[in-house]
Structure 1
């Protein structure tokens, strides 16, 4: 019977260690889930910021081309021609 008692004691010790390990892993898992949530939120914010910066960049490029920058002369001429066509169309509509 002494051997059976030792086996039961050993099993109890192993079960306690296993329960402690389970609690530790659950806490670690919760921490990792929180980190994933924070990372997803940060990624979302960064994506919004990137979209806004792209829009601002496009606006600045358009303004720069309208101001006649040497780098964008062709774009400037095309934009001016496009605006002239729009104005001519509006004038034609008003004349009718």
Structure 2
């Protein structure tokens, strides 16, 4: 009879182990879904940050084209950078026009 009790205890432990595995698997599925949701939220936030950075850059460009007396050295440097880029573009356009005419 000791053997039957031993087998019964093993079966009980086996059932408990199966239940525990099922719980862990269910938790794993839930955590994977949560990770997916968090990754999507992170992606949306990154896109929002990129959009806001682009808007900020455009606002700086717009502000640099206006002549305001209260210009910090950082704004002044940015304004010079923007003007330099514009001058480069104008030179490139002039070269293209010259190639088209010539």
Would the TM-score normalized by the shorter structure come out above 0.5?
yes
Question: How far apart are 1:67 and its partner, in Å?
Answer: 1.1
Q: TM-score, normalised by structure 2?
A: 0.73
The worse-fitting range, judged by mean Cα deviation, of 68-77 and 9-18 is 68-77
User: Where do 5+ consecutive residues of structure 2 fail to align?
Assistant: none
Superposed, which structure 2 residues align to 1:57-68 within 5 Å? 57-68=56-67
Rg (Cα) greater in structure: 1
Q: Number of matched residues?
A: 90
Distance 2:15 2:82 in 1: 78
Q: Does the C-alpha gap of structure 1 residues 77 and 33 become closer, same or farther in structure 2, counting only changes over 3 Å?
A: closer
The SS at the match of 1:68 is coil
Question: How far apart are 1:73 and its partner, in Å?
Answer: 4.0
User: Where do 5+ consecutive residues of structure 1 fail to align?
Assistant: none
